[in-house]
Structure 1
């Protein structure tokens, strides 16, 4: 168990440090927003670009991983929408954010540091693959559903909603970084050392600072009166999502598709086991649902210490997935 704690311990100590720094007024919640903007707009894009541009295309493009991660995530996404709409009677917009909480993992702020501790340099490739599915498939789909639900009474034009989503993606620094990184990798270019070292300096700032921000943003969040919905979202994210990924990676070879092996197989399941993305409540706030989303973020991030430790223990004792 100590070897598992050696992986998860530093992650949650960084989160605890961020929480303590805001709780005791070393930094403010406003400072966390500034730090977060730096990580999202500069550090993580630099990391993604560096991870992709420094490797051959065959190494960074993993169709089996993308297929498994997409299939498992969309299965839970559809189930979450049906649960929220039919069982809970929620509207389409709120249901979209419930599904976002269950399926959109914190690949950058929590996932990358965990992968870095376990898989080393491969963590950058895993992060890029996860971001491709998150930012090109899941988030655009959920944004489209949320916007369509918000405009239900206005009979919105589908092309208008899709155009708005496409514009948002085109302005996303992480999407730009993925495109540029793939371009450099495909062309086989070698970046000048002064450029690559500069990018590496910014990329190295992403891991610890991202976790620190998560902790700072947890200060002051409340879950009173939202326990049922929050528990459902947490269960979906921490249990159903990784189970769906386990099912997807297991089914690939049965369907005659390339099988995921070793590190990538473990990484796909671990990626799904991360808590939801750190800006979840900010995104849900666009339509006034920051309340339950912030509460779900707090509960899921806290519970993920135990669920991640359990999954890592199971993997460590199952066919040597983690060495």
Structure 2
């Protein structure tokens, strides 16, 4: 019970505060967009820059850790994609969007604060390693799958598509923050103390602002229809992904305790709003993606509690 009260509920209360503020009209849509733009374009990239610039890369980038997490992520995609296509007979493009909801965990806004509250800041190295390739890898995969689905397997001018995908991914503020962090880390160039102080102040504002804004974003996504498909997508994200990740990390790669915690907690997070944004970008599967993000986020209060009890 202490894990629920002390670790999980504070994070979700902050999301709930933003949700309630939006519901009561105190936090309008332009305000929500402004807070999220500040968090995603400025504060969170600075947080990632700060963390990766100081990361011990040789320790953080454990192949077993990365393979465990991403094998679980692609298992979640496969489960949701196959279920949408074969069981619920959704169009191929819808199935890709629904699969993406089982693929893309909220590693940054939920995974980081919950891991930190449960195990301390020293336990976050594995989280940052996972996050550093999360958006670039999964967005590239999702876009390529969607283009394949739209063209029924005949992707024309693949080099041009790959260039466009690469350009779109590498210009995202979060990715720029990650790349700048790697540049400082690998070069060994020290950050001046006055600049480091400014970075610290900005970085500390990122997670609280983003969680409050996330509550306002979730208020927009009312659950609608397709209950069985939504339940399947939630299961892919909250059960299949962490179960595969935990099984590989614990029984196959036999990761140390810190890495096992990072892999499992991060894999157990609900889909981020990126899952809806991906569906919205292509205009397919939007209702299922939006409802999955909202419902899985609420359910993850209890599923995360379960995974925390399983971990040492």
What's the TM-score bracket when you normalise by the shorter of the two chains? over 0.9
List per-residue Cα deviations over 1:5-61 (Å, max 9, x = no partner).
210110111011001111111111222122111111111111111011123432443
Structure-1 residue corresponding to 2:75:
75
Shift of 1:205: 0.9
Structure-2 residue corresponding to 1:313:
309
CA RMSD of aligned residues (A): 2.0
TM-score scaled to structure 2, two decimals?
A: 0.92
Structure-1 residue corresponding to 2:206:
206
SS of the residue corresponding to residue 167 of structure 1 reads helix
Q: 5 Å matches for 1:22-171? A: 22-122=22-122, 125-152=125-152, 156-171=156-171
List per-residue Cα deviations over 1:78-100 (Å, max 9, x = no partner).
33322222233223322221121
**1:291 and 2:293 correspond:** no
List per-residue Cα deviations over 1:139-165 (Å, max 9, x = no partner).
210111113323449853322322221
Contact 2:15–2:212 at 8 Å: present in 1 too? yes
Task: Indicate which of 266, 269, 276 corresponds to 1:271.
Answer: 266
Instruction: Give the number of aligned pairs.
Output: 311
Contact 1:51–1:128 at 8 Å: present in 2 too? yes
Supply the distance in 1 between the matched residues of 2:202 and 2:156 (Cα, whole angstroms): 41
Supply the distance in 2 between the matched residues of 1:197 and 1:180 (Cα, whole angstroms): 17
Q: Which runs of 5+ in 2 are unaligned?
A: none
Supply the distance in 2 between the matched residues of 1:198 and 1:45 (Cα, whole angstroms): 13
Structure-1 residue corresponding to 2:225:
225
Contact 2:14–2:212 at 8 Å: present in 1 too? yes
List per-residue Cα deviations over 1:222-274 (Å, max 9, x = no partner).
22322111111111111111101012213433xxxxx4211211110111110
List per-residue Cα deviations over 1:191-218 (Å, max 9, x = no partner).
1011111111111111111211221112
Shift of 1:300: 0.7
The alpha-carbon distance between structure 1 residues 252 and 137, as it changes in their structure 2 partners (threshold 3 A), is farther
Supply the distance in 2 between the matched residues of 1:153 and 1:100 (Cα, whole angstroms): 18
SS of the residue corresponding to residue 274 of structure 1 reads coil
Shift of 1:220: 4.2
Structure-2 residue corresponding to 1:256:
none
Shift of 1:282: 2.0
Supply the distance in 2 between the matched residues of 1:3 and 1:149 (Cα, whole angstroms): 42
TM-score scaled to structure 1, two decimals?
A: 0.89
Supply the distance in 2 between the matched residues of 1:43 and 1:54 (Cα, whole angstroms): 17
